[in-house]
Amino acid sequence: MRTALTLAACLVIQGAQAVQQTRPPVIRSRVDLVTTNVTVRDQLGQFVSTLGKDDFEVFEDGVRQELVMFLLTHGGRVFNEIGPPPAAAQEGLLLPPARPPGDRSGRVFLIFIDDAHIDFRNTARVRDLLKKISTELVHDGDLFGIVSTGTSSIEIDMTYDRKRLAEAIAKVAGTGQAPSEIIATPDGSQGPPEVRHRAHVAFSTAYDILQKLERVHDRRKAFIYISEGYDFDPYARSRSKAAADRFAQVPDTNPFSKSGNEFAAADLAAELAELTRQANRANATIYTIDPRGLPGGPDIDQTGLDSSDWQDHLRETVSSLRVIAELTGGFAAVGTNDYLKALKRIDNDTSDYYLVGYYSSNPDLLKKRRTIEIRVKPTPKRRAAAFQLSYTTSYTLKPPK
């Protein structure tokens, strides 16, 4: 399954590269093209669409950078486009037919369905969410692909055809572990083994896709992440009680097992942190959506589940979704049944923005974290303080393989 998911990620992004054949990314020795989206609003919160390339100043670690890429997207249409010099066409890619240059979208959507972390009983909610995505978010001319992590086996290459969403709707089914399954399964040396495995598969699959998305420079990239979130040590009290009952042991905590659980949690947390760093390197914004909606309480058929454990689990999973989104400039649609409002907000975020790009002039490869500052130049008729800028304020160099 892991190989198939990696192949799916490759095919999804290869399709995205088709729409930028006329201007693929330039690869320079030890210098990467850094791109970031900038949203400029006035004091009334309205998007400012009258700025040009020369109106912006971009600094990395306090050093001014030369802009080699600039475009304005307003209302989903691309204006004032300036890109880096073209490179030679890549060979060996399975590319779908490209649309004419004047009829291409400024947006790329990757719909990531983590069905391994979605309860089967929420399958109908996910299908309803995908229908809303088809009608309210993905418009004519938008490029999108869909990948799932579990047994739904959804692998839809990048396409303009919104009818392909119907395939995902028909195939998707939640396969998340029920609380009773987690509690009844004995822990391994590093905590619940299946919990750890599923989280690793989800993070590594998303990471592979984001690495491919890094090659796409001249598009607004939105990563729609549908999941019920992550808890690396779920239902701890209920699991300890179940373990004591199974082995008839008076102590309910093994210090060696606890150490292993803490290591497992730290390991997975490190994967999650690197996932968000890779999203920022790819200039992709992650929007997380929790299909559980407004939670009411644990299901009555979940025996052996401590009520406080359920509350802790809910809080932990929601927190993980917030972290994934907010560290990449997105937001988390959690604790709500109003998916339409969230989709309209994503639509607005991805329809009005500036995209700026530069080749970093910082030669110090040992400085892994780079800070970005973007300013609007003041003029006699315009005060820079009158604008509110939203953009990614830092990025991190790729870790060694």
Q: Could you tell me the domains of the chain?
A: 107-349 (3.40.50.410)
Residue 35 structure tokens? 């791109």
- pLDDT at position 97: 43
Burial of residue 33, with CB atoms counted within 10 A of its CB: 0-12 exposed, 13-18 middle, 19 or more buried: buried
Cα separations in angstroms, 66 against 60, 207, 332: 10, 29, 34
DSSP string, 280-347: HHTTEEEEEE-TT-S-----TT-TT--HHHHHHHHHHHHHHHHHHHHTTT--EE-S-S-HHHHHHHHH
**Residue 304 contacts residue 183 (beta carbons within 8 Å):** yes
**Which positions of the chain have pLDDT values less than 70?**
1-31, 81, 83-106, 189-190, 244-264, 298, 300-304, 384-385, 401
* Pairing verdict, β 220-226 and 107-113: parallel
Task: Give the N- to C-terminal CA distance of the chain in Å, as an integer.
Answer: 23
Report helix, strand or coil for 276: helix
Cα separations in angstroms, 334 against 203, 291, 320, 338: 19, 8, 11, 10
Residue type, 153: S
Q: Please give the Cα distance from 393 to 261 (Å, whole number).
A: 34
180 CA to centre of own chain: 29
pTM of the model: 0.80
Residue 258 structure tokens? 């606890």
- pLDDT at position 101: 44
- pLDDT at position 98: 47
- pLDDT at position 168: 93
**Residue 274 contacts residue 214 (beta carbons within 8 Å):** no
Instruction: Using alpha carbons, select from 205, 208, 281, 274 the residue that is nearest to residue 25.
Output: 281
- pLDDT at position 309: 85
Instruction: Using alpha carbons, select from 180, 197, 179 the residue that is nearest to residue 188.
Output: 197
Per DSSP, what are the bridge partners of residue 389?
A: 40
